[in-house]
Amino acid sequence: MTRQAMYVKMITSSLLRRRSRMAVALLAVAVGATILSGLVTIYYDIPRQMGQEFRSYGANLIFIAPPGGDTSGEGVSEAAAAEALSYIPDSAVVGVAPYRYKSAKINEQPFMAAGTDLEGARKASPYWFVAGEWPQDDGFVLIGQEVADTVRLLPGSSFTLTGTDDGGESFSKDLQVSGVVQTGGSEEAFIFLSLSDFDAAIGGNGNYDVVECSISAPQAELEGIAAQISENVSGLTPRLVKRVTQSEGTVLTKLQALVFLVTAVVLVLTMICVATTMMAVVTERRKEIGLKKALGAPDRSIMQEFLGEGLFLGCVGGICGVFLGFAFAQIIGINVFSRSVSFQPLLIPLTIAASALITVLACAVPVRRAVEVDPAIVLRGE
Amino acid sequence: MNLLEIKGISKIYGNVKALQNVDLEVKRGEWLAVMGPSGSGKTTMMNIIGCMDKPTEGAVILDGKDISKESARSLTATRREKIGLIFQQFHLIHYLTAVENIMVAQYYHSMPDEDEALRALDRVGLLERAKHLPSQLSGGEQQRVCIARALINYPMLILADEPTGNLDEANEGIVMDLFRQLHEEGSTIVVVTHDPEVAEEAQRTVVLEHGRVARIAYNVIAPPIIL
């Protein structure tokens, strides 16, 4: 048998034949590793999880016509909008709603008509409350609550939209109310038509006045996307909706700081728990340590044995913690964010390494006490 | 030729003089018994001879080298290389089997060798108990494992502290037979004991009282071995 094999034999026998004490230490490490792994998973998943939540607050990036220049006053062309959208990863796009605006009348009452991709608007503005239904076909529209109150329209009511198009010609289009929008904002004074209805009734140059995008990405990434678009795409200006992006960034930073602090506290508690258990183990095994020293064991060997036991506990606890931690993160994700978290393979080596390191650090003081044991205790019969 | 020479050693703990100006010589191959009442300084002398403590004054020369001024690390090395310890309470590691307990001594000394450890167990008549844990062995069997462990690295000096103190008569006989065998093979043995019958087996008995050598008795039955 080699020295290494004997070393492993001594450590494993010590752990396996003193199960109850080691089970306590292992439990402490496993709980610490579980919380570490779980919270780190959540820490990195919070932007994704909360990003989805924040998307409920509507668009966080808009494209508008560039100020001045040749294209001033002509809006954002479809080509420019499509090019700009190509800089946004598909997985991050929650919804895109391009808008064309034109003043129009119902019963001689002036309102603002907005032509948009209604499905895109629904995704980009999930906070809109619609009494009735979202329009499914051409000829059906959404009207704001203010419009509905003014001209006394309800879902299912028909009306005629009139006005003057860009060419100075009068237009008139019969439409039916599909739903009434309540947002608490300026949208309540709008009439929302599909782009095809808008173009058919009002016409225009085919450009958009504004394109609203709801992007699921952290503030820094969003700023990067905006900068890229600004640099590479002519014919539009990207603008971050700072009210949304900044508050999103602030909340995320605070949440991540909280999770970081909790993780740090848990790690310190784990270390204290493991150190206390190992201290008890050293006290319990003073006679055995004394015997080993009496047999001629150098301090280095005593240290290696205890650190080996600590390392073993750290690795086994870490392995348990990886999987239990993912389950823990999954439970939190589902119960708090109503979404599942994704497994990060990198967490396997990280959690095991962190658990091993913490356990070895926690063993430092007990090991120091172990090497100070006087070998003469074996002769005193203590 | 002397294996061990103790020259005027004293050991003082605060106001307590555990040993006072003790002189002693142990020849190679000699079997020496150390007797004395509790508090006479036997354990202190064991600690000093066993390289687990240093005298306050005086010199301890083991195998021609003064170990009284050596560092703790150097004493550990001397203990590992030159001394085999046998304890009254056996002190086997409870989570290792009999053969593994012997291999632990090999592990700290040089290289574990299971075959050699099994031969050592065979020598004390416990080959068939090699894979048993200490809790599965009787007191006498545990003491025999302890003796096998003490012998495994071929020590110059076997130091036994009350080796039969916890044994019944039958096991005491087995253990004393082993000591006689070792003595006949030329091992140097120092036995600390309360038991006059055990002391009588040695060639010479040193009686300590109040930290001093009170008297030395020679046993006529066991002839001294002169190498």
pLDDT over 60 at A69, yes or no: no
Q: Which residues contact A188 (CB under 8 A, 6 or more apart)?
A: A144, A145, A146, A147, A181, A182
pLDDT over 60 at A314, yes or no: yes
Q: What are phi and psi of A49, to 5 degrees?
A: -65, -50
Structure confidence at residue A359 (pLDDT): 86
pLDDT over 60 at B227, yes or no: no
pLDDT tens digits, residue range A239-287? 888 777 777 778 878 888 888 888 888 888 888 888 888 788 888 888 8
Measured between beta carbons, the chain A residues lying within 8 angstroms of B114 are 1
Q: Count the neighbouring beta carbons within 10 Å of the beta carbon of residue B222.
A: 17
Structure confidence at residue A72 (pLDDT): 47
Tell me which residue of A75, A141, A131, A129 sits closest to A104, measured CA to CA.
Answer: A141
Min distance B89 CA to chain A CA atoms (Å):
7
> What are the tokens at B93?
């590691």
Is residue B74 assigned to a domain?
Answer: yes
Query: Which chain A residue has its CA at the smallest distance from B47's CA?
Result: A376
Please report which confidence band the pLDDT of residue B192 belongs to, taking 50, 70 and 90 as the band edges: very high
What's the mean pLDDT when you consider all of chain B?
Answer: 89
- 3-state DSSP assignment of residue A132: strand
Q: Report d(CA A220, CA A235) in Å as an integer.
A: 24
User: In sequence order, which ranges of B92-159 are alpha helices (DSSP H)?
Assistant: 98-109, 114-123, 139-151
Measured between beta carbons, the chain A residues lying within 8 angstroms of B136 are none
Q: Report d(CA A49, CA A337) in Å as an integer.
A: 6
Q: Count the neighbouring beta carbons within 10 Å of the beta carbon of residue A71.
A: 17
pLDDT over 60 at B223, yes or no: no
Q: What is the ipTM of this complex?
A: 0.89
Min distance B216 CA to chain A CA atoms (Å):
24
Is residue B225 assigned to a domain?
Answer: no
Structure confidence at residue A134 (pLDDT): 92
Is residue B226 assigned to a domain?
Answer: no
Please report which confidence band the pLDDT of residue A380 belongs to, taking 50, 70 and 90 as the band edges: low
Structure confidence at residue B23 (pLDDT): 93
The whole domain housing B33 covers 2-218
pLDDT tens digits, residue range B64-95? 999 998 898 999 999 999 999 998 888 999 99
Kindly compute the dihedral angle of the four CA atoms of residues A147, A151, A157, A158, in this order, to the nearest 10 degrees. Answer: -100
Greater pLDDT, A337 or A9: A9
What's the mean pLDDT when you consider all of chain A?
Answer: 86
Q: Where are the beta strands (DSSP E) in A166-245?
A: 170-182, 190-194, 210-215, 237-240
CB contact under 8 Å between A296 and B94, yes or no, is no
CA-CA distances (angstroms) from residue A202 to A11, A148, A190, B214? 83, 21, 15, 126
Query: What CATH number does the domain containing B103 carry?
Result: 3.40.50.300
**DSSP letters of B81-105?**
HHEEEE-TT----TTS-HHHHHHHH
pLDDT tens digits, residue range A204-242? 777 899 999 998 887 788 889 999 999 998 888 998 887
Chain B interface includes A18 (CB < 8 A) = yes
Measured between beta carbons, the chain B residues lying within 8 angstroms of A373 are none
Domain boundaries, chain A: 3-52+250-380, 59-240
Beta strands at A190-194 and A109-116: parallel, antiparallel or unpaired = parallel
Nearest to A381 among B50, B88, B112 (CB): B88
CB contact under 8 Å between A292 and B81, yes or no, is no
Q: pLDDT over 90 for what percent of chain A? A: 30
Beta strands at A140-144 and A170-182: parallel, antiparallel or unpaired = parallel
Q: Count the neighbouring beta carbons within 10 Å of the beta carbon of residue A206.
A: 12
Please report which confidence band the pLDDT of residue A71 belongs to, taking 50, 70 and 90 as the band edges: very low
Q: Which residue has the tokens 């034999």?
A: A9
CB contact under 8 Å between B95 and A6, yes or no, is no
Structure confidence at residue B219 (pLDDT): 78
Nearest to B103 among A1, A294, A381 (CB): A1
Measured between beta carbons, the chain B residues lying within 8 angstroms of A299 are 73, 76
Q: Report d(CA A296, CA A156) in Å as an integer.
A: 95
Domain count for chain B: 1
Q: What is the mean pLDDT of residues B107-134?
A: 92
Q: Which residue has the tokens 């080596």?
A: A349
Is residue B112 assigned to a domain?
Answer: yes
Is residue B178 assigned to a domain?
Answer: yes
Greater pLDDT, B103 or A378: B103
Q: Are A308 and A55 in contact (CB under 8 A)?
A: no
Please report which confidence band the pLDDT of residue A202 belongs to, taking 50, 70 and 90 as the band edges: confident
CB contact under 8 Å between B100 and A3, yes or no, is no
Chain B interface includes A82 (CB < 8 A) = no
Min distance B114 CA to chain A CA atoms (Å):
7
Chain B interface includes A3 (CB < 8 A) = yes
Structure confidence at residue B197 (pLDDT): 87
pLDDT tens digits, residue range B5-28? 999 999 998 888 889 999 999 999
Is residue B227 assigned to a domain?
Answer: no
Q: Report d(CA A308, CA A7) in Å as an integer.
A: 9
Please report which confidence band the pLDDT of residue A164 belongs to, taking 50, 70 and 90 as the band edges: confident
Chain B interface includes A299 (CB < 8 A) = yes
Min distance A303 CA to chain B CA atoms (Å):
13
- 3-state DSSP assignment of residue B18: strand
Q: What is the mean pLDDT of residues B215-222?
A: 76
Structure confidence at residue B226 (pLDDT): 47
